[in-house]
Chain A
């Protein structure tokens, strides 16, 4: 393998890892804190990607595409936050402890969301104009890397750092980390843990929506089922990383993203996806709590 190919595949794999991380980190926190398997998380992602398409193709008033993209990121983040918040407040909140109902209700939200987006914007794949800069290439070790890949990587890393800082340096973050480990004890210390539930859902929605923005750039197009397809890999990333561990999710996203890219390139398209499933099986057999997960109590 030439160095150029190696670098290109690595950067691409890491970009994919960034997209996976953004959708998987919220999923992992939601499951870790609330034991809720949030099947609506793919919808948060799709909301972000459609927000991007909407802003990029309709906001002609903003002449600069670069500026428009920045606005798209903000709009997607706000919409992801709002949809995540509403999902918890209006639906999931009523059914804590009732896992089957929660799975059914989040699946229902997900399917209804896809139908709504499909009905509104059609099921046809959508593309949209991107800033010219995104298409340019930089040469790293002889490999021609599209700027968009580096941008995806940079945004993901910034959000990883921001998320970890939030969890480690703020009181909300402290409560969330404690709650992931032992929710009942947090309540027994006089803390209203339900407030954190809403916050984590909103935060998860925001991160997934930004993932949707970056995913739309990465895959150069979107469909209403976009989020559902990525959600499958996000679940795999969460399980391999360890439920409730943001660091584990980041590590696992890198592992899954790189594996997928390299195997797809060398062994043929589709084999990489299969290999990821094998990775999942191996993790479940050898280290069921995930890379950085703790055995839940």
Chain B
């Protein structure tokens, strides 16, 4: 019944094609999250297709970060979470990560008291991590140059690179990336997005991003959450090409969308 409603939703909006069921890497069914008294997610259903970036969009406070935390098992949740056929729902966080999730949190959450090198070393526990370190240093040369520096003394952009580099050392199946450009200066955003585009070229990513221009640049498909459910899913282009849809789902105003299209 829940999925019927979301399908109605997207039909109503003249919607896009749902990605083919068989090709999905992550399958989420009827995901519910309560936080205290509040029922934040009321039965989320979605898939993430492999080898591409899928953007998870929606208005502020709609539950995008909550969704990522629930997938990781960092928040208590009910529902099916299946990664590459593996049922993750009852596993503790570290086991879910071992099954193939990696995570770049919203506020970067690098270990500020540890050096850059120690932050990376903490992540180097997987077969293949050692081979990936040169790739990370290549993407973010600053991390090599500042290896001995305490992570807490890095700028916001450098901390973001460290958080990304740390996640990239894990040869995971699915990267969960939460607002990688939040709070960064425009020039840094350009740099981070370019690195992200290169780093995630052949990876599967579920990306939460408020900045629509960034989401457009990185993501192929979009999933939009509204009122605790999936309100729309389909190709990113289609969502952005439809001002009425954008307005109703994301609350992006007319003038701002015109501005965004102008510079896109």
In the complex, A175→B125 CA distance in Å?
12
Question: How many residues on chain B are close to A (CB under 8 Å)?
Answer: 22
In the complex, A181→B125 CA distance in Å?
20
Kindly identify which residue among A177, A187, A190 contacts B114, using a CB–CB cutoff of 8 Å.
Answer: A177
Measured CB to CB, the closest approach of chain B to A98, in angstroms, equals: 15
Contact A294 B93 (CB under 8 A): no
Residues of B with C-beta under 8 A to A294: 112-113
A contact residues, range:
10 to 19
A184-B74, A190-B94 known; A174+B122 contact, CB < 8 A: yes
Measured CB to CB, the closest approach of chain B to A180, in angstroms, equals: 8
In the complex, A190→B171 CA distance in Å?
12
Residues of B with C-beta under 8 A to A181: 111-114
In the complex, A182→B152 CA distance in Å?
13
Max chain B CB contacts within 10 Å: which of A177, A178, A186, A189? A189
In the complex, A156→B193 CA distance in Å?
51
Contact A189 B166 (CB under 8 A): yes
A3 at the interface (CB under 8 A from B): no
A174-B118, A175-B122, A178-B122 known; A190+B111 contact, CB < 8 A: no
In the complex, A67→B109 CA distance in Å?
50
Kindly identify which residue among B112, B113, B118, B170 contacts A190, using a CB–CB cutoff of 8 Å.
Answer: B170
B92 at the interface (CB under 8 A from A): yes
Kindly identify which residue among A177, A185, A191, A193 contacts B109, using a CB–CB cutoff of 8 Å.
Answer: A185
Max chain B CB contacts within 10 Å: which of A184, A188, A294? A188
Query: Which of B67-119 touch A at CB < 8 Å?
Result: 72, 74, 92-94, 97-98, 103, 105, 109, 111-114, 118
Max chain B CB contacts within 10 Å: which of A180, A191, A193, A294? A191
A174-B118, A175-B122 known; A185+B105 contact, CB < 8 A: yes
Residues of B with C-beta under 8 A to A184: 74, 93
In the complex, A191→B93 CA distance in Å?
9
Per-residue A-contact encoding for B157-180, CB less than 8 Å = 1, 0 else: 000000000100010000000000
B2 at the interface (CB under 8 A from A): no
- A contact set with B: CB distance below 8 Å: 174-175, 177-178, 180-182, 184-193, 294
- B contact set with A: CB distance below 8 Å: 72, 74, 92-94, 97-98, 103, 105, 109, 111-114, 118, 121-123, 125-126, 166, 170
